[in-house]
Amino acid sequence: MATVLDLGLLKGFTDIFVWILIFVIVYGVLEVTNLLKNKGLHALFAFAITAVIVLTGGGTNLITSMLPWVVVLAALLLFVLMLGQFAGLETKEIISNFGGRGLTWYLIIPMFIILVIAWTQGPEPKPAAEGATGEIISEALSEEQQQRPFIGVLTDPKVLGLILILSIAAMTLVLLAGGGGAVK
């Protein structure tokens, strides 16, 4: 049965999401620190770092396994800041109550622990199939299955239908907002 929101298809876009995430984080850090003093160089450097991390074998798997824990850590930090602001404190006061510049250690140590756990976790092995007589048959993946499923996801009929619906909706909004579709 077709569903309106099929989240199983998003798994095929993992590489793109990780690529965007790394690029945005590296570019943001370079912009904040103004390390190279040029936005174009910041973008080029961020693109190079992103390509090295994502195109190497385990970079995407490592970030994908770290991401849920990083989100939990960020949510915890956000809730602590919101709780302090509900109590009437400013953000600078909240940070100074946690040790000022020592607050970064409260973030670096959990991030390091998350990195070590994600690094040692590794990918899950695929189960072997059992034959009719009970022998274990190792499944050899074909060359097509070994490649990333991104192209397969893009050519899936559900994704193509979603792209068609979104493009029709976008054109409708453009014509309605701009008045280009009105007959005079």
- Domains of the chain, by residue range, sit at 11-56, 61-123, 143-184
pTM, full prediction: 0.56
Residue 98: its pLDDT value, please? 74
CA distance linking residue 17 with residue 82, whole number of Å: 28
Residue 46: its pLDDT value, please? 93
Residue 128: its pLDDT value, please? 54
Containing 130, the helix (H) or strand (E) segment is strand 129-130
Look-up of token digits 């945005």: 24
Residue 177 tokens read as 């907002």
Q: What is the dihedral of CA 91, 102, 32, 70, to 10 degrees?
A: -80
DSSP lists the bridge partners of residue 129 as: 137
Residue 27: its pLDDT value, please? 94
Residue 160: its pLDDT value, please? 80
Q: What is the mean pLDDT of each run of 10 residues along the chain (184 residues)?
A: 64 83 92 90 93 81 85 88 88 78 77 83 56 59 50 74 85 76 52
Residue 145: its pLDDT value, please? 46
DSSP lists the bridge partners of residue 152 as: none
CA distance linking residue 36 with residue 140, whole number of Å: 48
